Structure 1
Amino acid sequence: MSQAAPTERLDRLRHWIAHRHALAPAEVSLCLAAGDASFRRYFRLALPDGDTRMVMDAPPAQESDNSHRFVAIARDWHQAGLPVPRLYEADQEAGFLELEDLGDSALQQHFAGVDAPPTLAWHERAIELLERLQNRAPATALPAYDEALLDRELSLFPEWCLERLLGIAPPPEWPALRRRLIDDALNQPRVVVHRDFDAMNLMVHDDGLYLIDFQDAVAGPLTYDLISLLRGRYCRFDEPRFAAWVETFRQHAIRDGRLPAEIDARIFRRQADAMAAQRTLKVLGIFCRLTLRDHKIGYLSRLPHFLAHLQDSLAPWPAFADFRVWLDTTFAPALRGELQCRGISDGGTP
């Protein structure tokens, strides 16, 4: 994107808001609130009466499909009684959306250490919200989290993390592991999947939790959003804590019909761990792509944290033992060396 393009977009955005609120463009008060890993930008709009709104700028050339999905899902989930930002207006051709302002308090800002009572309590509330999402949101209009998508996501790891960042080949076990992770995901009950149910996409507003950034939602595996939260970017919970949450989630899912009663604790835990491994491998690839292709800074420093999640997910299962050995003896040392060459602390890479 040229240097002039963001300024031109901002001018167009000002005129759109001015027309909506009967203001002169010079009277439109916008402050950049956030950007993300995509091309979207978010601005806080201060209206003359003191009210504020959040305005999304989603350039159509890069974000058209996402904007259309966001609008459709926002309306569906609002009608289902789920906590999402109110949508005031959308010009999807221009890529401008005016939304309710939920403030700046993302869930991770309320964490106080991995074992602290507030951290644990907020995770309990987030899991309760996830159960409401899976029970209430309609899945019929969402694209399927199918084999092709799962395969594309897993391909990010060997392409961007192994080949492009580290210059190493995947191990002989990779094809079998890839096949098993895809099969395990496809064998789970299908529900609405936010697809980035991480603390950064849960806003605390008026002491409630709100869902944001849901434009990538799909119909897919029951455990995906659970492990997105529990093995996300901010916390690494110990085995007993993780196991207890997974088991409680299983029991609730059986009780309300999301999961067949014959899925016992061990089967469900294996499904959750396999799903966590799939997502973590995807995240490792995405973070490398964001760094190498999109020149986004800061993502490589998060790789050791997700490597630890990957090892936690594989550790209970003998079928993954050979891949774990490769992680310990080949991947982890290569990653540590690359981070050191770039002047990045490995954060205690295992």
Structure 2
Amino acid sequence: MENSRESELHQRQQVLQVWARQALREALGDDPGALEMLALGGDASFRRYFRATIPGRSVLLVDAPPPQEDNPAFIRAAAEFRVAGLHTPDILAADVVQGFMVLQDFGDQLYLPVLQQAAALADMATVDTLYGQAMNALLLLQSSAAPTHLPPYDRQRLEQEMCLFDQWFCEQMLGMSLSTNERSMLTELRHTLCDTALAQPQTRVHRDYHSRNLMIRQDEGGKLMSSSPPGVIDFQDAVIGAVTYDLVSLLRDCYIVWPESDVQRWLGGYHAQAVDAGILPSDYSLDQFRVDFDLMGLQRHIKVLGIFCRLALRDGKNRYLHDLPVVMDYVCRVSTRHPVMQPFLTWFETGPLPAMQNRLREARVVLS
């Protein structure tokens, strides 16, 4: 089975190579020649990325198999985000039937390693600059008055996502058999968190707006532009949803953690700018915004616990197990502030949490 899968992937790569050459010939009016494809690191999806050099620049070739990836949604979201003023990769060519695309190449510099280095050096000026640019881009996205074709982040979608925690974190990873009372408690929790999300102002939502999906772009000479708006990628799951969703994805990132004082400082600044821009109503207090931010983050992080386990168990991407401790810590720390979370927190800290910690120790994952 594994050899068959590898053979299929190799064949798709060859077809992509031939298609991309012809697509670039049509797009550029000149034959780029035989394309040498360099495989790049993947993400949490089924997409594969390759870098190819053509005269004067490099491009990204994307293999996004249609049974698993919604390529029309990627193209629609790219257009909407660009109209709003964000820097998404130009789509130079696309074949949605085969699942192939040629994209503008933003380079390799993700936010995450730069933020990690800045944190190690206590260089908060760099951190503030990068987060300032990321939040400015998010404000542009949320304030855009252009028509939208994005689907709603409705109750069904929100609750289905949270059910991933029950299925993949509790049942599949830990082998738990949830009791009737436990299922009832989790159902009530989902309803509460979804009510909070749906009561917030609704805006365009990237849905995975964090340090691994934001890039420091390069100028024409190849120099990094850390003081310029970021390149935004991995936006194909965009929806119309809660105004706090992308902000909590950014500030309570699953891959890098900041002191709560910094998170609250950034949150306060964002709230003031969003009110000034008309994204938030003037009577939407900072205190209420903080509560909504926390509860939206809990919806996201409980969901992510299930997603990371699914990525490990179903897709063989075990590296995501190393990110579980950060997300579990977010869930516990933020839940302590909100009485509505107490039944879940008591249950989680006495059952699933220690069970998962034991499982991760067996897998030699550092819990910190």
Unmatched segments (≥5 aa) in structure 1 = none
- The answer to whether structure 1 residue 57 and structure 2 residue 63 are counterparts is yes
Q: Which moved more, 1:26-35 or 1:284-293?
A: 26-35
Distance in 1 separating the partners of 2:102 and 2:284: 44
Q: CA deviation at 1:313?
A: 2.1
Q: CA RMSD in A?
A: 2.0
Equivalent residue for 2:273? 252
Equivalent residue for 2:175? 167
Matches within 5 A, 1:100-179: 100-111=104-115, 112-113=118-119, 116-117=123-124, 118-136=126-144, 138=146, 140-168=148-176, 169=178, 171=182, 173-179=185-191
Q: 2:37 aligns with which of 30, 33, 38?
A: 30
Distance in 2 separating the partners of 1:28 and 1:316: 55
Distance in 2 separating the partners of 1:236 and 1:324: 21
Equivalent residue for 1:88? 92
- The answer to whether structure 1 residue 342 and structure 2 residue 363 are counterparts is yes
Per-residue CA distance 1:272-304 (angstroms, 9 max, x = gap): 000000000010000001111111121112111
Q: Which moved more, 1:202-211 or 1:17-26?
A: 17-26
Q: Which moved more, 1:312-321 or 1:199-208?
A: 312-321
Equivalent residue for 2:215? 203
The 3 A distance-change label for structure 1 pair 87 and 21 is closer
- The answer to whether structure 1 residue 181 and structure 2 residue 193 are counterparts is yes
Q: 1:68 aligns with which of 48, 54, 72?
A: 72
Return the letter of the residue paired with 1:2.
Answer: R
Question: For the Cα contact (< 8 Å) 1:76–1:137, is it kept in 2?
Answer: no
Unmatched segments (≥5 aa) in structure 2 = 219-224
The 3 A distance-change label for structure 1 pair 100 and 137 is farther
Equivalent residue for 2:222? none
Q: 2:316 aligns with which of 292, 295, 302?
A: 295
Return the letter of the residue paired with 1:71.
Answer: I
Q: Which moved more, 1:220-229 or 1:3-12?
A: 3-12
Distance in 1 separating the partners of 2:140 and 2:83: 13
Q: Secondary structure of the residue that 1:88 maps to in structure 2?
A: strand
Equivalent residue for 1:19? 22
Q: Secondary structure of the residue that 1:109 maps to in structure 2?
A: helix
TM-score (norm 2): 0.88
Q: CA deviation at 1:165?
A: 0.9
Distance in 2 separating the partners of 1:339 and 1:158: 18
Identity %: 35
Return the letter of the residue paired with 1:161.
Answer: F
Distance in 2 separating the partners of 1:213 and 1:263: 30
Matches within 5 A, 1:278-317: 278-317=299-338
Q: CA deviation at 1:137?
A: 6.8
Per-residue CA distance 1:218-273 (angstroms, 9 max, x = gap): 00000000000111123222222222222222222221111112221221111100
Q: Which moved more, 1:145-154 or 1:237-246?
A: 237-246
TM-score (norm 1): 0.92
Q: Secondary structure of the residue that 1:200 maps to in structure 2?
A: coil
Distance in 2 separating the partners of 1:21 and 1:304: 44
Question: For the Cα contact (< 8 Å) 1:15–1:25, is it kept in 2?
Answer: no
The 3 A distance-change label for structure 1 pair 211 and 21 is closer
